A and B are shown apart, each in its own frame.
Chain A
Amino acid sequence: GQQLNQSPQSMFIQEGEDVSMNCTSSSIFNTWLWYKQDPGEGPVLLIALYKAGELTSNGRLTAQFGITRKDSFLNISASIPSDVGIYFCAGQVQAGTALIFGKGTTLSVSS
């Protein structure tokens, strides 16, 4: 099925560093969602984006809905150990269609 291209696949960083990950698609999306998933748990919604160009923050997290509507990025500033996990982007092409997930970015933070 259709998938998003999410990169990087994994990141190993030091505590305090900033992190950036992104997703791109060949299709135009009307919604971008960013989730974090801890081992053995369900994905937790971090940020939801609904408009092209929209820039939204949630604490140390910032995400943007690309102007072309084909991409989105997530930034994490001043990373801490509890940021460890898998981050998924998800997009929706149009109302009533299934969410399309990226393959995830695994983040490791060393203190």
Chain B
Amino acid sequence: DAMVIQNPRYQVTQFGKPVTLSCSQTLNHNVMYWYQQKSSQAPKLLFHYYDKDFNNEADTPDNFQSRRPNTSFCFLDIRSPGLGDAAMYLCATSRDLGVGGETQYFGPGTRLLVL
């Protein structure tokens, strides 16, 4: 089945130690998104790629970076994780940026714990 895959599902890192989360998709969608979701809150968009074009949300900290080497894969790099970065990180994809309506499909998420 076509889907959005996130690895790992759980990641433990140390304060200040760089960590990379990965996302892959078999939907062949143009757009890939990264969200941060903290407990009992709605997902918060960090950035998205439309094909190779990177779009950062204004309030996304510089500590968060992303790479999209090809259509299928997208990575979230947290350069120096702080305790406040502990959260669920969600990857999502959509076919396009809203022509005729945009539907985003989410992966299962990676829960990050910072010690």
Interface range, B side:
20 to 34
Q: Is the CB of B107 within 8 A of A30?
A: no
**A-contacting 9-mer, from B11-19, B62-70, B72-80, B96-104:** B96-104
CB within 8 Å of A: which B69-111 residues: 88, 90, 92, 97-109, 111
A24-66 Cβ-contact flags toward B at 8 Å (1 or 0): 0000001101010000111111001010000000000000000
- A-B contacts counted at CB < 8 A amount to 63
The contact sample of 10 A-B pairs, CB cut-off 8 A, is A30-B98, A41-B108, A42-B107, A48-B101, A48-B103, A88-B42, A88-B43, A99-B45, A99-B102, A99-B104
Complex CA–CA separation, A45 to B105 (angstroms): 7
Interface size on A, residues (CB 8 A): 27
B9-40 Cβ-contact flags toward A at 8 Å (1 or 0): 00000000000000000000000000000001
Complex CA–CA separation, A28 to B4 (angstroms): 30
Q: Is the CB of A44 within 8 A of B106?
A: yes
Complex CA–CA separation, A88 to B88 (angstroms): 16
Q: What residues on A are CB-neighbors of B6 within 8 Å?
A: 42
